């Protein structure tokens, strides 16, 4: 039985062409710790890393490559933004569609004197902007929100949220784990101060690499979470003020960064417009095939244009976990069931506690894959 991989929102597979060879090349043909030594291998690695930072700065509309930070992934990026900017007494606003990367972190920060409010979202995952307006307080320091839901694919109206933050003089940070590589994500368009991204999802790079695109003003307010060697200003007992060093103590994940660099070249060669058209066409095909089936619920927007390629199905007459197992065993279709590390989103979508079976697609998903998945859902429903 052929495998149909529809778990792209968890991690892309296959990876972009060139990723595996970039990782292997780095490991087999020499690489060295960047920013440390002055020999040829170190300088070559430094230049390669700089090129990847430049590609990311370009992708996210960042003022310069020094404001691109590498982290092991979106979770670490989000922790750096929340823990590095909020102090006891501060208030932060999040949405009702957050992943636990944001939700659990603000819950933990609450024990340390930071308060938080949640902007309600409707059962399609859309933000209630008028409710959001009423949540700002004098001590509100930050708004942090997911750009698109990892459960329903809903694209949140973050340009409007960014405008609201700007009017209130509050910093705005975006969790772009599900949108980078899918739709344009830019500091300027979103009026954002920070964009947190993962390299291994829509960007089609390796696991273990992600990062943050920062605005210079917000970067000045951020404290590092990790301290240690940077290869710069080593005479000082303090972390250097210069970026990205201030936030990148320790040895960088060079194979991951260079693998991500190859993935970015592929994303650029295909183009975001083509990636997005493919995603919309496949999402519409899946939604159209399932529409009208009385035994399932499809939380999220009806129009494919209003979501990324993530479609959750709630089977009304079956156990969702059993359905996911049957999809794999009987049809070779790999999905993810349960709460997707996003209980808050499932509450908003009214799919808590049963969760859903999530189908998520990518550039290498074909029309045939989607037709096979839709037929399997209808048969199992
Ligand atoms: N935020 C969202 C919306 C996600 O979907 C995920 C992962 O699924 C994360 C954050 C965490 O990303 P990572 O696994 O790269 O840390």
Indicate if 300 and 237 belong to the same structural domain: no
Q: Is 312 in the pocket of ligand 1 (CB under 6 A)?
A: no
Per-position pLDDT tens, the chain of length 381: 899 999 999 999 999 999 999 999 999 987 777 777 788 888 888 999 999 999 999 999 999 999 999 999 999 999 999 999 999 999 999 999 999 999 999 999 999 999 999 999 999 999 999 999 999 999 999 999 999 999 999 999 999 999 999 999 999 999 999 999 999 999 999 999 999 999 999 999 999 999 999 999 999 999 999 999 999 999 999 999 999 999 999 999 999 999 999 999 999 999 999 999 999 999 999 999 999 999 999 999 999 999 999 999 999 999 999 999 999 999 999 999 999 999 999 999 999 999 999 999 999 999 999 999 999 999 999
Q: Is 198 in the pocket of ligand 1 (CB under 6 A)?
A: yes
Indicate if 57 and 100 belong to the same structural domain: yes
Indicate if 68 and 163 belong to the same structural domain: yes
Q: Is 7 in the pocket of ligand 1 (CB under 6 A)?
A: no
Q: Is 178 in the pocket of ligand 1 (CB under 6 A)?
A: yes
Indicate if 152 and 193 belong to the same structural domain: yes
Indicate if 256 and 373 belong to the same structural domain: no
Those residues whose C-beta lies under 8 Å from the C-beta of residue 5, and which sit 6 or more positions away, are 13, 334, 365
Indicate if 239 and 301 belong to the same structural domain: no
User: What pTM was estimated for this model as a whole?
Assistant: 0.97
- Report how far residue 9's alpha carbon sits from residue 327's, in angstroms, rounded to the nearest whole number: 17
Cα 332 to middle of ligand 1, angstroms: 25
Q: What is the CATH number of the domain that holds 329?
A: 3.90.1150.10
**DSSP-based three-state secondary structure for 14:** coil
Cα 99 to middle of ligand 1, angstroms: 7
Q: Which residues are part of the catalytic machinery?
A: 341
Residue 210 CA: nearest ligand 1 atom is 15
Q: Is 177 in the pocket of ligand 1 (CB under 6 A)?
A: yes
Indicate if 10 and 23 belong to the same structural domain: no
Count of domains for the chain: 2
Cα 102 to middle of ligand 1, angstroms: 9
Indicate if 64 and 108 belong to the same structural domain: yes
Indicate if 29 and 9 belong to the same structural domain: no
Indicate if 187 and 282 belong to the same structural domain: no
Q: What is the CATH number of the domain that holds 209?
A: 3.40.640.10
Which one of 242, 269, 296 terminates a domain? 269
**196 secondary structure, DSSP code:** E
- Report how far residue 335's alpha carbon sits from residue 315's, in angstroms, rounded to the nearest whole number: 14
pLDDT the model gives residue 33: 78
Cα 129 to middle of ligand 1, angstroms: 24
Indicate if 217 and 305 belong to the same structural domain: no
Indicate if 304 and 177 belong to the same structural domain: no
Token pair for 130: 């008028």
Which one of 252, 269, 286 terminates a domain? 269
Structural domain of residue 174, as residue ranges? Answer: 19-269
> Where is 116: in which H helix or E strand?
strand 115-119
Which one of 269, 285, 311 terminates a domain? 269
Query: Which residue in 256, 273, 287, 271 sits closest to 370, CA to CA?
Result: 287
The residue count for the chain: 381
């Amino acid at each position: 039985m052929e495998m149909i991989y529809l778990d792209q929102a968890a991690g892309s597979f296959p990876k972009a062409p060139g990723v595996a060879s970039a990782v292997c090349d780095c490991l087999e043909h020499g690489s060295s710790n960047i920013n440390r030594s002055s020999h040829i291998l170190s300088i070559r690695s430094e230049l390669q890393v700089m090129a990847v930072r430049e590609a990311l700065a370009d992708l996210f509309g960042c003022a310069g490559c020094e404001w691109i930070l590498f982290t092991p992934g979106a979770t670490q990026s989000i922790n750096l933004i929340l823990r590095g900017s909020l102090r006891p007494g501060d208030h932060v606003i999040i949405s009702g569609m957050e992943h636990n990367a944001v939700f659990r972190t603000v819950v933990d920060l609450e024990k340390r004197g930071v308060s938080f409010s949640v902007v309600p979202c409707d059962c399609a995952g859309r933000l209630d902007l008028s409710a959001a307006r009423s949540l700002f307080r004098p001590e509100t320091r930050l708004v942090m929100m997911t750009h698109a839901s990892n459960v329903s694919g809903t694209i949140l109206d973050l340009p409007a949220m960014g405008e609201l933050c700007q009017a209130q003089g509050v910093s705005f940070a975006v969790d772009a784990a599900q949108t980078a590589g899918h739709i344009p994500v830019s500091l300027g368009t979103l009026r954002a101060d920070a964009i947190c991204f993962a390299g291994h999802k829509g960007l089609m790079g390796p696991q273990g690499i992600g990062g943050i695109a920062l605005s210079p003003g917000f970067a000045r307010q951020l404290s590092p979470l990790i301290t240690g060697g940077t290869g710069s200003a080593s005479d000082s007992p303090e972390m250097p003020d210069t970026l990205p060093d201030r936030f990148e103590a320790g040895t960088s994940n060079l194979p991951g960064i260079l693998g991500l660099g190859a993935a970015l070249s592929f994303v650029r060669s295909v183009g975001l417009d083509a990636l997005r058209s493919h995603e919309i066409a496949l999402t519409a095909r899946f939604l159209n095939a399932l529409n009208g089936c009385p035994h399932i619920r499809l939380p999220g927007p009806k129009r494919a244009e209003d979501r990324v390629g993530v479609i959750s199905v709630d089977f009304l007459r079956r156990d969702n976990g059993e359905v996911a197992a049957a999809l794999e065993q009987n049809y070779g279709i790999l999905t993810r069931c349960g709460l997707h590390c996003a209980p808050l989103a499932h509450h908003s979508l009214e799919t808590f506690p049963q969760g859903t079976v999530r189908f998520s697609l990518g550039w290498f998903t074909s029309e045939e894959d989607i037709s096979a998945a839709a037929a399997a859902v209808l048969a199992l429903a």
